Chain A
Amino acid sequence: MTPILELRNVSKEFHGVAAIRGVDFALMPGEVHSLLGENGAGKSTLTKIMAGVHKASSGEVLLDGRPRVFDSPAEALHNGIAMVFQETSLVPSLTVAQNIYLGNEKFLNRLRGIYIAAQQFLQSLNFGVDPTMYVSQLGAAQKQMVEIARAVHHKARVIIFDEPTATLTPEEKHHFFALIARLKKDGVSIIFISHALEEALAISDRITILRDGQHVVTDDAGNFDRDKIIAAMVGRTLSEELYSRDKSRSVRGYGRKVLSVQNLSMGKMVRNTSFSVYGGQITGIFGLIGSGRTETAKIISGVIKRDFFHGGEVRLEGKSVRYRVPRPAIKDGVVYVTEDRKIEGFFETKSIAENIYMNLLSADLNKRAVISYSEMMALAETWTRKLNVKAIDSNARVIELSGGNQQKVVIARSLVQKPKLIIFDEPTRGVDVGAIAELHHVINELADSGLAVVVISSYLPEILNLADRILVSRQGRIVEEFSMEEATEEKIMYAAVH
């Protein structure tokens, strides 16, 4: 049987960094094929190539055995490939029915007509959504349903679901799986991306596992179990050298308690979480994307305003604190190093020196109202040497540097503020291998010098390599703590997926 959709030796690079490398993938007609892997394993990139969002850097995409290149998602959709995105792609100011028929409107588009048709259609899918509701008024799960309904309505032959069940209640999940079974019976092929391994095992015919952008294994779902999948997801090949766990590495002890968080809650992302951070050691926080780890860190450092009506307490060195903006947190010595340096990490029109000096000014550490350019250059000189930033000189603009050097500047910006507690959110994302080792060295030195260091990462080897103790975050709270003696990749991953 010819696969309906096939990828042969497909690679995709973003700005010279490979997201996936030489991946083969085949989707048979009428099968449910699960795609599993850690964050950053390349699942989303792979499916986005199939759906025409990205174009492969090399390799072939075959539809019904013939090579095809999709220039846009619309073209892929026209050829029967629909993708239901994680981040919803509906038009919020239109009604449910209008969204379902978007792009398929008749010349004379009577609302009454499409409401009736949409009502019948949604009923046939067993979705309890009112077609006259505006999408902006819907909850996350209902939006998901409308997305799915739209894909089904387009008579897609291939539907790609990216984390469809994350927002659904058990009841809705039940309907969703029934729908998948029905679609499958109608001959629709389904690609299912999920972090929920049980769901993948229950509904798929075959499972493909990716790791570090490469294909690991594809096999019938019956030949897998939970432990096998986790082993395949975390087994290392590529970066083993960099992250080889130094068993002899001495684990740092507990210093004084710097931060304690008790029953902190905030909206849907942080639910009743409690943990402590100690000086002179690195606390690693592992969690998959959406597990609330970034939000927790941002609340502690004032980047997200903590509202009064949300519960919990944050104590910094025994004193209860509640920050509305980052500025008072910085003055108290709590600094957050962002995971998204391009958006909130540095100033793109400014030089390295200006970027670093700006944070000294903003922390009021030099008590100056007038800028001293000599002080600025001296400061830049000190920090570029300390962190080994590779640039022509300190007047080079940060935007022109490589990812690793940009990250070093972002870290230097935080370190000039003399933090007591520094939170690194994904400190090595988008950084080349050589710079990763240097960044790890910097982070280790900070802990050795007595700072309380938190490293948030969704990359297990990084956590295992850096941390002195590991907290695992899941569904908005810290669910488990491991000492380095008991921590293994399998145990941590088991705690992080539900």
Chain B
Amino acid sequence: MDFSKAFRLLNQERIVFLLTVVLFVTFSLTLSNFLAAGNLLSLVRSVAVLGILGLGMLIVVLGRGIDLSLVATMAISVAWAMQLVSEGMPVYAAMTTGLLFALCISLVTGILVAYAEIPPLFSTLAMATFIYGFGRAHMITGTDVVYMPKNMGWIAELGQGHFLGLPMPILVAAVMALLVFLFLKYTKLGAFIYAIGDNLPASRIGGIPVRPMLALQYVISGGIAFVAGIITATSVEAMNTRVVNSNMIYDVILVVVLGGVGLSGGRGNVRNVIVGTLLIGVLMNGMTIMDVQYTIQNVIKSLILLLAIVVDSIVNPRDEQTGQQGDI
């Protein structure tokens, strides 16, 4: 009995948190420079963007969807905005244009999912390819990399500045996490997203505007992607659009699923994303210090992702009844 009680207490979030702590302690004992303040800051900083994207993914996944176009939206909208600045557009106008582009393109994705009823996996995958292809062909001239113009003003500080000794990306990620937390917990729209993810037919019969809400999820995640893009671009003073072809989007899913957000919708919160992000941060940082090959790092990450999904399906069965009693 005690064992089963302990098992119940061990939800995925706690398992991952414990794992993070164990890894953290192991690394700090075995790796000499792991605990240095500089290293810890760079650890958090390196996953700040991942965490912000994770927040966007969280909102979509809570509504029983998935957004594979996050990274493409992020890269193209910010690269385009920076190019507009270089071409002479005022900074604020260019940033607003970039944000509007991100919102519009994700509204299209949302409409495809909500009104055309195309499964999110396919519509966002197609949109990701479309955004990247269209952006490279018709919006971004020159090479894959768009460099940050010199006249970005305070926006450049978002990636490079410090506040109270903390790098700005960390603070931006924290503020975004707080905003998403407040949105999900204290607003009606947040409650609707949970409801739709939990039970779509019941939401519909209860009078929740299901389709507009589904579309809204993607718009919000598109907006969050733009913020993540600004942080990325200002940190490294460039936006490399080839990031769309990297496996970054899988890292975002990894962060969300690893933290314990149920892929079947309705389960999870900001805390899960933070826990997932920290684990990936500690893991990647430790492996980098240990000089583990990039390919091996990928193998380890992918194994962890698979494990997390399996644990997720055992701990959070979609239908509790069938989960407990087997199919009748």
Question: Which residues does A use to contact B, with CB under 8 Å?
Answer: 14, 54, 303, 325-327, 330-331, 336, 338, 342-350, 354, 358-359, 361-363, 368-371, 399, 413, 417
- What is the chain A residue whose CB lies nearest that of B210? A325
Question: How many whole Å from B296's CB to the nearest CB in chain A?
Answer: 38
Which of A363, A369, A399 is close to B207, meaning CB atoms less than 8 Å apart?
Answer: A363
Interface residue ranges of B7-54 to A (CB < 8 Å): none
A326 touches B199 (CB 8 A): no
Given known contacts A303-B205, A349-B266, A54 and B199 CB-to-CB distance under 8 angstroms: no
Q: Which residues on the A side are within 8 Å of B209 (C-beta)?
A: 325, 327
Q: Which residues on the A side are within 8 Å of B320 (C-beta)?
A: 348, 399
Q: Which residues on the B side are within 8 Å of A349 (C-beta)?
A: 194, 198, 266-267
- What is the chain B residue whose CB lies nearest that of A326? B205
How far does the alpha carbon of A327 sit from the alpha carbon of B207 in the complex, in Å? Answer: 4
Which of A326, A361, A368 is close to B192, meaning CB atoms less than 8 Å apart?
Answer: A361
- Name the segment of B138-146, B183-191, B218-226 touching the other chain: B183-191
The verdict on B165 contacting chain A, using a C-beta distance below 8 Å, is: no
The verdict on B175 contacting chain A, using a C-beta distance below 8 Å, is: no
Which of B188, B204, B207 is close to A371, meaning CB atoms less than 8 Å apart?
Answer: B188
Q: Which residues on the A side are within 8 Å of B178 (C-beta)?
A: none
Question: Which residues does B use to contact A, with CB under 8 Å?
Answer: 185-192, 194-195, 198-199, 201-211, 266-267, 320-321, 328
Question: How many whole Å from A464's CB to the nearest CB in chain B?
Answer: 28
| Interchain pairs with CB closer than 8 A, number | 84
Which of A347, A359, A370 is close to B188, meaning CB atoms less than 8 Å apart?
Answer: A370
How far does the alpha carbon of A459 sit from the alpha carbon of B154 in the complex, in Å? Answer: 71
How far does the alpha carbon of A354 sit from the alpha carbon of B191 in the complex, in Å? Answer: 9
Question: How many whole Å from B211's CB to the nearest CB in chain A?
Answer: 8
How far does the alpha carbon of A350 sit from the alpha carbon of B190 in the complex, in Å? Answer: 14
Please classify the interface of chain B as helix (H, G, I), strand (E, B), loop, or mixed, using the class held by over half of its residues: helix
List the 5 closest pairs (A to B, CB-CB), nearest first.
A344-B201, A330-B207, A362-B207, A347-B198, A362-B208
How far does the alpha carbon of A330 sit from the alpha carbon of B208 in the complex, in Å? Answer: 10
How far does the alpha carbon of A336 sit from the alpha carbon of B207 in the complex, in Å? Answer: 11
How far does the alpha carbon of A142 sit from the alpha carbon of B188 in the complex, in Å? Answer: 49
Q: Which residues on the A side are within 8 Å of B201 (C-beta)?
A: 343-344
How far does the alpha carbon of A361 sit from the alpha carbon of B189 in the complex, in Å? Answer: 9
How far does the alpha carbon of A361 sit from the alpha carbon of B186 in the complex, in Å? Answer: 12
How far does the alpha carbon of A330 sit from the alpha carbon of B189 in the complex, in Å? Answer: 18
Which of B194, B206, B266 is close to A359, meaning CB atoms less than 8 Å apart?
Answer: B206
Which of A336, A348, A417 is close to B199, meaning CB atoms less than 8 Å apart?
Answer: A348
A350 touches B198 (CB 8 A): yes
How far does the alpha carbon of A334 sit from the alpha carbon of B18 in the complex, in Å? Answer: 50
Given known contacts A303-B205, A331-B207, A399-B320, A346 and B199 CB-to-CB distance under 8 angstroms: yes
A–B complex contacts, Cβ < 8 Å, 26 sampled: A54-B328, A303-B205, A325-B210, A325-B211, A326-B207, A327-B208, A330-B206, A330-B207, A331-B207, A336-B205, A344-B201, A347-B199, A347-B203, A348-B198, A349-B198, A349-B266, A350-B198, A354-B191, A358-B191, A362-B195, A362-B207, A363-B207, A369-B189, A371-B185, A371-B186, A413-B206
- What is the chain B residue whose CB lies nearest that of A337? B205
Question: How many whole Å from A274's CB to the nearest CB in chain B?
Answer: 25
Question: How many whole Å from A49's CB to the nearest CB in chain B?
Answer: 12
Question: How many whole Å from A300's CB to the nearest CB in chain B?
Answer: 13
Given known contacts A358-B191, A369-B188, A371-B186, A326 and B204 CB-to-CB distance under 8 angstroms: yes
B188 touches A368 (CB 8 A): yes
A344 touches B187 (CB 8 A): no
A358 touches B187 (CB 8 A): no
How far does the alpha carbon of A361 sit from the alpha carbon of B328 in the complex, in Å? Answer: 36
Q: Which residues on the A side are within 8 Å of B266 (C-beta)?
A: 347, 349
Q: Which residues on the A side are within 8 Å of B202 (C-beta)?
A: 338, 343-347
Q: Which residues on the B side are within 8 Å of A359 (C-beta)?
A: 206-207
Which of A325, A331, A369 is close to B187, meaning CB atoms less than 8 Å apart?
Answer: A369
Q: Which residues on the A side are within 8 Å of B267 (C-beta)?
A: 349
Q: Which residues on the B side are within 8 Å of A354 (C-beta)?
A: 191
Q: Which residues on the B side are within 8 Å of A363 (C-beta)?
A: 207
- What is the chain B residue whose CB lies nearest that of A325? B204
